[in-house]
Amino acid sequence: MFSGIPRLLVSVRNADEALMAARGGADIIDVKEPSKGSLGRASLENLLAIADALKQQQQHADRVRTEPVPLSVALGEVQEWSESSSLFGGDFRGGSTSLSSDANDGICRAISELQPTYMKLGLSQIVAVSRQGVDRWRNSWIDVRCRFSGNHEWVAVAYADYQRAEAPTPDDVLEAALETNCSVLLIDTFVKDGTNLLDWLPVEEITSLRKTTAAHGLQLALAGRVTLMDLPLLLPLQPDIIAVRGAVCESGERTAEVSETLVAEFIERLAAGG
């Protein structure tokens, strides 16, 4: 559980960014495609290239880390894994955005081979289903998770802006995380429009969630356009993980390139307590 200094998770979109993040000292490398949203799923090619680059870097680094950098994989939203929204009985709001069976099968095979430490799925656009019974969206979430073999640590994702994400509340996601053996509760923002975590979820509410996660041995990760300026408010909450992208990208834009220098600066600020 909390060791005194949160670990820094950096989201990357390609192998070059993964190496920049690792050289900067990132504690966890998260693979995603930021142009596809909060948990945008990267292409199979990028996932494999990132994993290979990190493996090569680990083998040839002048200062070899005792352990490889843990890998995290964003798998998109649960509804993207449904075929014609069948997991949701066809009443998924907004129509189907499901991916092809071949694409899903390919990513499942790659995950089985790579065995990333962390896996995460979003729960957006299923609030209509949850109104019909909370077990229904939980079962759909679990059904997708069961497609992946291995001993992954599952991250339950709660959206701070859950109303506009049409997602379950953070309290509901926390309850589901505890009941389905997740290792981490991640609080993030769904819509990437320049607002951040604290614009949607007050410190007091995060404090309440932190107390529950701590009592049950569940790690807490905080994301949602977190910047260095937010650390004085967030670090007293003792999160186990701070997850960033835009804050360590050139010009502060999440669609820009990850900077090794900015990653190192963020690490230093975390160690200094903000």
Three-class DSSP category at 97: coil
Report the DSSP beta bridge partners of residue 244.
10
Please spell the DSSP secondary structure of 164-194, one letter per residue: HHT---HHHHHHHHHHTT-SEEEEE-SS-SS
Q: What are phi and psi of 170, to 5 degrees?
A: -55, -35
The residue with greater pLDDT, 200 or 100, is 200
Check residue 63 and report its DSSP letter: S
Give the separation between CA 27 and CA 38, rounded to whole angstroms.
20
Mean pLDDT of 84-106: 52
> Structure pTM?
0.89
CATH fold of the domain at 7-271: TIM Barrel (3.20.20)
Contacts of 155 (CB under 8 A, 6+ apart): 72, 118, 119, 120, 182, 183, 184, 185, 186, 221
Please answer whether residues 122 and 158 qualify as being in contact, where contact means their C-beta atoms are separated by less than 8 angstroms. no
At residue 252 the predicted structure's pLDDT band, cuts being 50, 70 and 90, is: confident
Note the pLDDT of residue 107: 87
Give the separation between CA 256 and CA 250, rounded to whole angstroms.
6
pLDDT at 80 over 50: yes
Please answer whether residues 9 and 22 qualify as being in contact, where contact means their C-beta atoms are separated by less than 8 angstroms. no
pLDDT at 226 over 70: yes
Please answer whether residues 212 and 174 qualify as being in contact, where contact means their C-beta atoms are separated by less than 8 angstroms. yes
Mean pLDDT of 68-90: 74
pLDDT at 192 over 90: yes
Torsion sign over Cα 202, 254, 162, 214 = negative
Q: Where are the domains of the chain?
A: 7-271
At residue 9 the predicted structure's pLDDT band, cuts being 50, 70 and 90, is: very high
Give the separation between CA 161 and CA 159, rounded to whole angstroms.
5
Give the separation between CA 79 and CA 58, rounded to whole angstroms.
35
At residue 91 the predicted structure's pLDDT band, cuts being 50, 70 and 90, is: very low
Please answer whether residues 137 and 99 qualify as being in contact, where contact means their C-beta atoms are separated by less than 8 angstroms. no
Give the separation between CA 201 and CA 173, rounded to whole angstroms.
14
- The per-residue pLDDT of the chain, averaged, comes to 87
pLDDT at 118 over 70: yes
Give the separation between CA 47 and CA 73, rounded to whole angstroms.
8
Give the separation between CA 87 and CA 95, rounded to whole angstroms.
13
pLDDT at 37 over 60: yes
